[in-house]
Amino acid sequence: MKRINFLNKLHKESKLQMIVPSEAIKDSYIAKSESNLASAKIL
């Protein structure tokens, strides 16, 4: 619950904002996820 309260506090202070989804960011997260999965399989 601490994380939810923290995010609610940031929202109330207007420190969070919505952004337009980006293909570049999405692709970066997918590549990172695949890399982490490959590393986990090795271990």
Name the token pair of 33. 């996820």
CA distance 27 to 11: 27
Name the token pair of 39. 């590393």
**Confidence at residue 1, expressed as pLDDT on a 0 to 100 scale:** 59
The predicted-structure confidence for 4-43, as pLDDT tens digits, reads as follows: 889 889 989 999 888 888 999 999 999 999 999 999 998 8
Closest among 7, 18, 25, 21 to 33, alpha carbons compared:
25
**Confidence at residue 26, expressed as pLDDT on a 0 to 100 scale:** 94
CA distance 2 to 42: 34
CA distance 4 to 28: 26
Domain boundaries defined on the chain:
19-43
